[in-house]
Chains A and B, each alone.
Chain A
Amino acid sequence: EVQVLESGGGLVQPGGSLRLSCEGTGFTFSSYAMSWVRQAPGKGLDWVSSMAGSGGSTYHADSVKGRFTISRDNSKNTLYLQMNSLRAEDTAVYYCAREVGVQLGWYCDLWGRGTLVTVSS
């Protein structure tokens, strides 16, 4: 089955760190750019970070630049999001999504179920 599955969410204190993972199955993982999109409770969709299929190009939203780092291990079919210096406003469901191209900047045709990150003391 073609799918992506996130893991690693949880409760973390302000200033803390967390690493999210996203495993892709049923498709050639390295042939697709991958993204993280988040949704704060009751709010809309907010693009966070993206990485090209080869791992060369990356994108981070201004709101997370310098704090979050996207990476991938194509040998493990896995995308990561290292989140440092977490703030209350980072509280959201984080979705992993597959873009339709190998390079950045496309729409997403496959989404995971999401993993909840809660930043609170």
Chain B
Amino acid sequence: DIQMTQSPSTLSASVGDRVTITCRASQNINTWLAWYQQKPGKAPELLIYDASSLESGVPSRFSGRGSGTEFTLTISSLQPDDFATYYCQLYNSYPMYTFGQGTKLEIK
């Protein structure tokens, strides 16, 4: 089974900071990676798919990069609304539906 490892598990940052979250796969997954944002008490929302494609309506300060085994989600300038938990997800690997453990982005 392919394992997905996210880091860090918690990240403290300030409004205006540039932050990067990393997701590593235990095997080559090409660009079959999505990123989600989840706020407390709410459902996850899709941010990025195919490792770097921005979902419609998502602010351009969010970007994704990577292929193979290492992927990043970057927020270029943190806004108050961005403090949430972020998950990566492997797909197109039926029957595997694998989420990363999550990264909680907190206000410093």
- Other-chain contact of B95, A45, A59, A111 (Cβ < 8 Å): A59
- Other-chain contact of A47, B49, B55, B97 (Cβ < 8 Å): B97
Q: Would you call A112 an interface residue if the criterion is a C-beta within 8 Å of the partner chain's C-beta atoms?
A: yes
The CA of A109 and the CA of B96, in the complex, are separated in Å by: 18
Residues in A whose Cβ lies below 8 Å from that of B60: none
- Is B43 in contact with A45, judged by CB distance below 8 angstroms? no
Residue of A with least CB distance to B92: A105
Q: Which of A44, A45, A59, A114 has the most CB of B within 10 A?
A: A45
- Is B43 in contact with A107, judged by CB distance below 8 angstroms? no
- Is A105 in contact with B99, judged by CB distance below 8 angstroms? no
Q: Would you call A18 an interface residue if the criterion is a C-beta within 8 Å of the partner chain's C-beta atoms?
A: no
Please provide the chain A residues from 64 to 121 with a CB less than 8 Å away from any CB of chain B in the complex: 95, 100, 103-109, 111-114
Q: Would you call A21 an interface residue if the criterion is a C-beta within 8 Å of the partner chain's C-beta atoms?
A: no
The CA of A112 and the CA of B91, in the complex, are separated in Å by: 20
Residues in B whose Cβ lies below 8 Å from that of A114: 43
When A95-B44, A113-B43, A114-B43 are in contact, do A46 and B99 touch as well, CB less than 8 Å?
yes
Residue of B with least CB distance to A44: B102
The CA of A60 and the CA of B38, in the complex, are separated in Å by: 23
- Is B95 in contact with A107, judged by CB distance below 8 angstroms? no
Shortest Cβ gap from B59 to chain A (Å): 17
- Other-chain contact of A107, B34, B100, B102 (Cβ < 8 Å): B34
B31-59 interface mask toward A, CB cutoff 8 Å, 1 = contact, 0 = none?
00010101000111110010000010000
- Other-chain contact of A111, B45, B91, B99 (Cβ < 8 Å): B45
Shortest Cβ gap from A2 to chain B (Å): 12
Q: Would you call B63 an interface residue if the criterion is a C-beta within 8 Å of the partner chain's C-beta atoms?
A: no
Q: Which of B43, B87, B92, B93 has the most CB of A within 10 A?
A: B43
Using a CB–CB distance below 8 Å, which chain A residues touch chain B?
35, 37, 44-47, 50, 59, 61, 95, 100, 103-109, 111-114
